Structure 1
Amino acid sequence: MMLFLMDIWDSVRGFMASGGDVLWLVAAVLFLMWVLMLERYWYLNWISPKQHQAIIAAWDAREDSTSWYAHRIREAWMSQAKQDLNARMLIIKTLVAICPMIGLLGTVTGMIQVFDVMAVHGTSNARMMAAGISMATMPTMAGMVAALSGVFFSTRLDAKMKISLERLKDSLPHH
């Protein structure tokens, strides 16, 4: 088992080395994005239902659910629930959007390295140019993969949040 983990670590280190320093930035943004998305999934599945049940119980305990004041209270509770559900979603969507940009930063830095090799050694040293090309393509690929995973799961998360909010709205009847 330990040998297997060492092999995996060596593969990750080799991949990160072939992509340059920008690949570490992509990894950090990806890690932060996934921590925030997992926190939102946790909130949506375990915390939010309890809060929604408390709101429903408070609404059902009200004697007045038809007056103008009751409607404003219902709207305030719905607004608070929506705000709690959508917390940190803007950060997640921003991180998803910047992943490809960070990958493009890696492309630029890799191509600068290729041009440096060409300026010093000429175009005859293909091996040295290959390292720069690798540093140009790896971060771009990693940034796109990170963004695609983030788009897929943040969209699913957003849809689940909307469904949860609609269920809460349907549980608070007003006449």
Structure 2
Amino acid sequence: MNLSDLHKHLPSLNNVTEISRITKGFSFDNKYFLYENSETPHYVLRTAPLKQMQKKQSEFNVVANVFDRGVRTSKPIQFGAIESPREVSTPFCRGQIRGYFNGTVPEEFWRLYALYTAMIIFGTVTWTLQVIPEQLQSMLGRIRIVLDDHQNFEKCIPKWFTS
């Protein structure tokens, strides 16, 4: 997570001047403190995979409901989805992956990445047809990109990582 991506996708947070990752807690979400020219964090940003969107929307609604009832808790300010970083910035994605593995990405990661990516293709089409059929062409375009990235899954490491 960097400031330019944050400002691009969440313009309401343009006053944020610093981001620091939070490594404490029990959730698997990525969490960040956001600062506005101070030593005290002004916001907490949580990010999660897009496939968890409905669950996270429910969690957000619960926190909003608790806050609206006057219970002392963090004020929820915004919920939304941002397209995957791959579509926004391949250098950012490469940096995220290399950073996670301290520079050396194990081959096993790429085998699992390719397997999981291939496994969700059919389910993605089915889900799109049932939930947002008007976006089928867009989803098929994304699938074509994934197939091209992996050379129809003859390669585990996608082109965007090695180019």
Give the structure with the larger helix fraction: 1
TM-score if structure 2 supplies the norm length?
0.30
Larger radius of gyration: 1
Q: Structure 1 or 2: larger strand share?
A: 2
